[in-house]
Amino acid sequence: MPEKIILTLLGLFLVVGALTVVIARRPATNAIGFLAVLLAVAGLFALLNQSFLFLAQILVSVGAVVVLTLIVILTVNLKEEQFPKERFKGVWIVGASVLTAPFGWLLYKTLVSVANAFPKTQKGFGSAEAVGKSLFTDWVLPFEILSLLLLAAMVGAIIIGKKEQAYDIES
């Protein structure tokens, strides 16, 4: 029973955060909502006994991504009048929701159709050890590729973010 209450709270947290991301006007507010979502997801991981994922989510998503996002938002430091003028924001959101609803419903149906009840968890499920074992045995190649991707992203981010560009496409 406590799990259910926690789950409900987390779900509320998640939905409200997500809606804040989509609806709120100021980037900083969005970022707060984003942070709430990431935390709620971490909580969901915890509920699923994925202790290592929970840790990773907190560390990487919250610790790195949100901080980075906030830094960029602050760096850009948009003035009120620089915000995009979204006059039909409500219409767009409702319209897009209507369009997305059937797909969401289908997605949910599909996912649910293959899901039955949770089995009992074995000992050590979701621990760093279990994940690490799997990661370095079955998933070595994706892992290595991902490390390359991270490297490339880092280099790319530096190059894109450099102030004076070596190559300017427009000019």
Partner 1 sequence: MTLQTTQLLGWILLLPFTGALVLGLLHLTFPRTRRLDTFYAALGVAGPVVAAALGLKVLYAVASGADVTFRQTLFTWLSVGDLKIGLTLSADALGAVMLFIVTFVGSVIHIYAVGYMRGEKSFGKFFAYFNFFLGSMLLLVLADNPIVMFIGWELVGLASYLLIGWYYEDPANVKAANKAFILNRIGDFGFISGLGLLFALVGEGGFSFADIAAHIGSVDPAMTALVGLLLFVGAMGKSAQIPLYVWLPDAMAGPTPVSALIHAATMVTAGVYMVARFSFLYESVPDVGLFIASIGAASALLAALFACYQSDIKKILAYSTMSQLGYMFIAVGLGGYSAGIFHLFTHAFFKALLFMGAGAVIIALHHEQNIFKMGGLKEKMGLVTATMLVATLAISGIPPFAGFFSKDAILAHAFASGHTFIWAVGVATAYLTAYYMFRLFFVVFVAPPREKAEPAPLDRTVTWPLVVLAVGSAVAGFFGLPEAYGGQNWFAGFLHLPDRALHLGSGEEFLLDMLNLLVASAGIYVAYRLFARSPREAHDAAAWQTMLRHTLYVDEIYEALFVRPLRGLSRLLDRVVDNRIIDGIIGLTVGGYRVASAGFALLQNGSVRWYALYFMAGLCGLSLYILQNIGGE
Partner 2 sequence: MTLNPESFLALATLLFGIGAVGVMSRRNIFVVYMSIELMLNAVNIVLATFSRLHPDMGGSVIALLIIGVIAAEAALFLAMIVQLYRKKRTVDSDAFTDLAQRRLS
Residues that bind partner 1 (CB under 8 A): 96, 99-103, 105-106, 109, 113
Q: Which does 19 bind (CB under 5 to 8 A by kind): partner 2, partner 1, none?
A: partner 2
CA distances from 125 to 37, 122, 133 (A): 24, 6, 11
- Regarding 38 and contact with partner 2 (CB under 8 A), the answer is yes
Q: Which of positions 52-71 make contact with partner 2 (CB under 8 A)?
A: 52-53, 56-57, 60-61, 64-65, 68-69
d(CA 21, CA 38): 11
Instruction: Find the shortest distance in angstroms from Cβ 116 to partner 2.
Output: 7
Instruction: Find the shortest distance in angstroms from Cβ 2 to partner 2.
Output: 10
Site string for partner 2, 80-119 (x = CB under 8 A): --xxxxx--x--xx-xxx-xxx-xx--xx--xx--xxxxx
CA distances from 67 to 28, 41, 72, 161 (A): 11, 17, 9, 17
CA 78 to chain centre: 23
Tokens 């991707």 correspond to: 149
Nearer of residues 84 and 119 to partner 1, judged by Cβ: 84
Q: Which of positions 149-168 make contact with partner 2 (CB under 8 A)?
A: 149-150, 152-154, 156-158, 160-161, 163
Q: Which does 31 bind (CB under 5 to 8 A by kind): partner 2, partner 1, none?
A: partner 2
CA distances from 64 to 21, 49, 93, 98, 161 (A): 18, 23, 29, 34, 18
Helix, strand, coil in percent for the chain, rounding step 5: 75, 0, 25
Q: Which does 102 bind (CB under 5 to 8 A by kind): partner 1, partner 2, none?
A: partner 1
